[in-house]
Structure formats: structure tokens, C-alpha cells
Amino acid sequence: IRWKQGEGWHDPAVVPYGPLTLDPASMVLHYGQEIFEGLKAYQQPDGSVASFRPEANAARFRSSAVRLGMAPLPDDLFLASLSELIDVDRAWMPPAGGEESMYLRPFMIATEVGLGVRPASEYLYALIASPAGAYFPGGVRPVDVWLCTDYTRAAIGGTGAAKCGGNYAASLLPQAQAAEHGCAQVAYLDAAERKWVEEMGGMNLFYVFGSGDGPVEVVTPELSGSILPGITRDSLLVLAKELGCQVTERKISAQEWLEGAADGRISEVFACGTAAVITPVGRVKHNDGEVTVADGEPGPVTTRLRNLLTAIQRGGAPDTHSWMRTLVPA
Ligand code: PMP
């Protein structure tokens, strides 16, 4: 679907996958005026195909557009594009009940030709899809995380709360450094004080305080304005409360993470996002050392939340919050 100042949204089409033709002076190539989303479609046991809270992705796509100076795509066009593409790609849908899904990547780029630095007056909204295998083919394993103190991903007033390509550009070098330290993921701190935990490169973070028979508190960094408001994060806050946990959104410092993991006050750390759903965090490494949370095994709260959320998404548990949306009927 294309958008042009004065014309609005026009020319919707489903076309075979292939290269895009772009003018070399297309504004997206120079100033990064681009936004995207990531969500999954799951084959349901009744033969329909459904997605998890796609309205939330549509809403986040709108707010990302506004932050990037673009016209927001109406939710009905966003949601219809998901249904239309899944309908065409039905034969590629992985079967129900397994760990596989269809990953959907909506994105919007500035296609106006021009080198002046200002919001473009023409863009292209597009959606691509790909079958996605199990994130953990050999069973869920904790990931090691690099606590990054050299770089930040987003500052207050910047684009951190939007899902735009530029945020990920900032995270590429830290990601490579994490890999050099044997870590699969980067955890970022706030830009102002380099003290407070924000999120990982593509996931939000949670901490479980207390364990055993005592009360368990699930803590996640509050939305600071530079954290992406994850849809998985939002859903887990609801589910954790239902599982009887006390749920708190507040600032948590890197020091509290490292000390809490070392002295046992923090019994589990996990990260969450559309791709991995929930990933237990094992070791956290940083410039001055490393700490392993508990024994490095996925903890009970992490496991229960993961099992509950994946069951809802795959039609194996009651959808009590009406989170699942049918994209294509049986
Ligand atoms: N933070 C960042 C930076 C991300 O890219 C993502 C993935 N969209 C998340 C958090 C998790 O968001 P969600 O649960 O909506 O996938």
C-alpha cells in the first residue's frame, strides 16, 4: 500500500516476493525514515489461523509512525494486510500444535526522492512473511547476556519507544561485542545515568524476587520513554498476576540485578518478546565480571509463564483475555 500527501493510502496489492525498486535518493536510504513491526500467526487446532493481539501491533505501528513524522496506517488496513497475506500463503503455514509459526514483518519506508532533511511526503507500507522454526529446537535453554555499559540504545526524547530501524542500527556494534564475550544478547542501561536497566536488543526484561514457599514478586523496568512497550511484556504482567505473583513496574539498577543475582534475592531473570516468547537468562557478563542467576537453569515462574502464554497462542489453553484474533477462518 502506498501513501502520498494529498492522495492518502492507495494501490493495495499482493505481489510475488521479489526485489523492491528504489530510487537511490529515496529518503529512507539516507535518513532512516522507516518503522516496522514483528508478530506471529499460529495455525489453530480448529483449522483457522490466528495471531496474538495484532491490534496492539497496529497501535504501536501507528505511534511509531507519528514519532517518525509519518502518517499512521489505519488499523483496519494493517489488520487486513495480515489476513490477506496469510490467506495467499496458507500452504506455507506450519502445522498446529508445534513450536513453529508464521513470522509477519510489516514495515513502512519513505520512498520520496529528495536529499533535504524533512519528513517524506510519500511512503510504501509492505508486509512480508516467513515460516519460523522453533526458537529453542533442543528445549528452552538460558541465554547469556552482555550488560552493555559502553553504549546506549535510546535516550529520553529520542526514538527508543518507537519501533524504527535506527534504534537497531545503534544496537549492532554492541551486539557484535556481546558475541565476542560469548553472549547471545545485549542488555542496555538508560542513557542519562547509565544506571537503570532498560531492555535487551529485542526483548523486555523481568526479574523474579523471592522463591520457594514465600511470596514471589515479578519486577520489570517501568516504561521510561526509551524502552519499547513490548506486547509480550504487557501480557505477562497480566498472566503473572493471575498466577499469584505480586507484579511491579519500577526502576531496577544494574547494581541491584548483579547483587540480587549473586546473593539469591533474585531467583530468576527472563526476557520476553514475540520471537522467543520467553527466554531464561543464565549468566550476565559485564566489563568487571559475571554473575549466574540461580543455577543457570530455567526457573519455575519463567517456565509456568512460558507454558501458559505459548498454550494460549497455540489454542491449547482458554483465551480468557480475548487476545487471539482469527486472521483466516477454518
Ligand atoms: N524490545 C525491543 C527493542 C524489541 O525489538 C522487541 C521486539 N518487538 C521487544 C522489546 C519485545 O516486544 P514484543 O513483545 O512486542 O515483541
**Does 230 share its domain with 269?**
yes
**Does 297 share its domain with 188?**
yes
The CATH number given to whatever domain includes residue 78 is: 3.30.470.10
Is residue 175 situated within a structural domain?
Answer: yes
**Does 24 share its domain with 149?**
no
**Does 306 share its domain with 216?**
yes
In the predicted structure, residue 113 carries a pLDDT above the cut 80: yes
- Residue 159, ligand 1, Cβ within 6 A: no
**Does 277 share its domain with 160?**
yes
**Does 204 share its domain with 278?**
yes
Q: Which three cell numbers stand for residue 309?
A: 502464554
**Does 112 share its domain with 180?**
no
What pLDDT score does 278 carry? 95
Is residue 137 situated within a structural domain?
Answer: no
Mark which of 132, 164, 186 sits at the end of a domain: 132
**Does 63 share its domain with 199?**
no
Residues with Cβ within 8 Å of 282's Cβ and at least 6 positions away in sequence, in order, are 141, 142, 143, 144, 292, 293, 296
Which amino acid makes up residue 181? H
**Does 84 share its domain with 148?**
no
The CATH number given to whatever domain includes residue 183 is: 3.20.10.10
Cβ atoms of 266 and 209 within 8 Å: the answer is yes
Looking at the predicted complex, does its ipTM rise above 0.90? yes
Q: What percent of the chain has pLDDT over 70?
A: 100
Mark which of 81, 102, 132 sits at the end of a domain: 132
Which residue range is the domain that position 264 belongs to?
143-313
Distance CA 15, CA 125 (A): 13
Q: What is the mean pLDDT of residues 31-50?
A: 97
**Does 62 share its domain with 193?**
no
From the CA of 39, give the closest atom in ligand 1. Answer: 16
Q: How many domains does the chain have?
A: 2
Is residue 330 situated within a structural domain?
Answer: no
Q: What is the mean pLDDT of residues 135-161?
A: 90
- Residue 313, ligand 1, Cβ within 6 A: no
Q: Which of 37, 153, 203, 272 to mutate to test the pocket of ligand 1 (most atoms within 8 A of CB)?
A: 203
For 274-287, how does the pLDDT look when each residue is reduced to its tens digit (9 = 90+)? 998 999 999 999 99
Is residue 233 situated within a structural domain?
Answer: yes
- Residue 231, ligand 1, Cβ within 6 A: yes
What pLDDT score does 137 carry? 72
**Does 205 share its domain with 116?**
no
